[in-house]
Amino acid sequence: MSATVLTASALLLDMDGTLVNSDAVVERCWRRWALKHGLDPEAALKVVHGRQGYATMAVLLPDRPVEENYADNRVMLAEETADVDGVVPIGGARAFMAAIADLPHALVTSADSALATARMGAAALPMPAVRVTAEQVGASKPDPEGFLKGAAELGFGAADCIVFEDSEAGIAAGRAAGMRVVGVGPRAAALSPDAHVEDLTQIRVEAAEDGTIRLHIDEA
């Protein structure tokens, strides 16, 4: 392992795959959906992470009317919100959230508010006071809108923020926002984030005297 130190004024946190391991329920719900529509479930699962459901459906069924994607997405969100079996925190997430509790941070997730509340609750993680959920953006990741809104709500510029993400769409969104990215977990390893960790046990948070946040990262 090699040690990296990154300094920021604020942290912007994805949820699924970054703070919460929800892969079990995501795979259950999307496998059902793919089979219902005659698609290969394995191929579908390669594009679901990081995006809002309607955006995933648009990739998988590009000729389908967008209204049908939005309707299916509402059903999918209800199914995912009701199913928290197997939803657990990513390694080190509880200690990490405790360490940043009094520091500027926001949740920026493709989940809607109800799903975010259900999954953070199932993982016994505190919900950040500042959060950008699906209802608050007009475009899904990889569009940078969510991260830019999170930074603006916290009162910081893009260059002063560090994004925590696990997926290709999320990392692309962070980069498009002009932010540095810490990649979390196996999906992020091949995407060349500014730093990469297997989980959050590899990060130590230090609040500097000038108010900045120093992240001591033992890279994978």
pLDDT tens profile 124-137: 999 999 999 999 99
Asked whether 11 and 130 are in contact (CB, 8 A), the reply is no
Q: What is the dihedral of CA 42, 114, 202, 210, to 10 degrees?
A: 140
DSSP assignments along 143-155, one per residue: STHHHHHHHHHHT
For 155, left (φ over 0), alpha (ψ -120 to 50), or beta?
left
Whether residue 219 is predicted with pLDDT greater than 90 in this model: the reply is no
Cα–Cα distance between 108 and 130 in angstroms, integer?
9
Q: How far is CA 177 from CA 12, 38, 44, in A?
A: 11, 36, 26
Whether 168 shows a pLDDT value over 90: the answer reads yes
Across residues 154-176, what is the average pLDDT? 97
Spatial contact of 13 and 89, defined as CB atoms under 8 Å apart: no
Q: Is pLDDT of 107 > 90?
A: yes
SS3 35: helix
d(CA 24, CA 84): 9
What are 32-59's pLDDT values in tens digits?
A: 999 999 999 998 998 888 788 999 999 9
pLDDT at position 121 is 97
Q: What is the mean pLDDT of residues 144-154?
A: 98
- The per-residue pLDDT for range 65-98, each reduced to its tens digit, is 999 999 999 999 999 999 999 999 999 999 999 9
Q: Is the pLDDT of residue 214 over 60?
A: yes
Q: Say if residue 144's pLDDT is above 70.
A: yes
Structure tokens at 164: 């925590």
- Tell me how far apart the alpha carbons of residues 12 and 154 are, in angstroms, rounded to a whole number: 10
Cβ partners under 8 Å of residue 184, min gap 6: 17, 18, 90, 164, 165, 166, 196, 197, 198, 199, 200
Q: In terms of C-beta distances under 8 Å and separation of at least 24 residues, what long-range contacts does 131-138 make, across chains too?
A: 131/106, 131/107, 132/106, 132/107, 132/108, 133/107, 133/109, 134/52, 134/109, 134/110
Q: Give the per-residue pLDDT at 46.
A: 87
Q: Are 166 and 18 in contact (CB under 8 A)?
A: yes
Are the CB atoms for 182 and 197 separated by under 8 Å? yes
pLDDT for 1: 53
